Structure 1
């Protein structure tokens, strides 16, 4: 009887593993959304409301604002906001976001992530593109 070659074993391994990749990726996204939800959900009701999102946004602003000048530059934002979104949120047009502007952006993204308008976001809503966009501002 002929022994299987390494190439055949590799092909068989790939054939078995590939169908599992999307599921494990979806599981990782789901686990990430649940973990993020738990970190921000201070009243432990399984959802994030606007007050919780704003509180998390303020904490993130404070963490990112290294030079303590009251604003976030594109460098301090670390890719959380595109140039286009920065310009739209920058009410005083100084090229930075102050805490009020950052908070307004958090609120805008929260509302975009809440398509049913119930005032709360669950893990399912946080997994969608608008929810992930909000979470970029909160972590």
Structure 2
């Protein structure tokens, strides 16, 4: 692991820790702001790997009862009842990290209409991009 990757990861963790502040969560995240926060390789776009790193940290932050899953209360409206049902193939009413990250990947794909594997600020401002950001904020 290179020093650049380690420092980028540290910066990502620091950025994520600031998201726990209620004032930040209440404020909508813009496409450009999201790219700036998530884009660890500084290419002005975010790819699925970068998004899933943030989503994984979000899952860990939301998962309060240490059972390894998120229930509707822990999800705090990030997914509708129908969204949870769709993302829950084992139908247990909760999402484990694998299921949560699969939902993130599905929303990423929906937000990537040109199928280039990256999202720019403009794509993150679309309804599909905003739905993705709702899962990772």
Under a length normalisation based on structure 2, what TM-score does the superposition of the two structures give?
A: 0.78
What SS does structure 2 have at the residue aligned with 1:94? coil
CA–CA distance in structure 2, aligned partners of residues 35 and 112 of structure 1: 20
Partner of 1:65: 63
Cα deviation, 1:111-138, whole Å, max 9, x if unaligned, reads 0000000000000000000000000111
What SS does structure 1 have at the residue aligned with 2:36? helix
For residues 1-139 of structure 1, the aligned pairs below 5 Å read 32-139=30-137
After TM superposition, give the deviation of residue 32 of structure 1 in Å: 2.1
Larger radius of gyration: 1
Q: Which runs of 4+ in 1 moved over 3 A?
A: none
Which ranges in structure 1 are unaligned for 5 or more consecutive residues? 1-27
Q: How many residues align?
A: 111
What SS does structure 2 have at the residue aligned with 1:60? helix
Which ranges in structure 2 are unaligned for 5 or more consecutive residues? 1-26
Cα deviation, 1:90-122, whole Å, max 9, x if unaligned, reads 011100000000000000000000000000000
CA-based RMSD: 1.4
CA–CA distance in structure 2, aligned partners of residues 91 and 36 of structure 1: 29
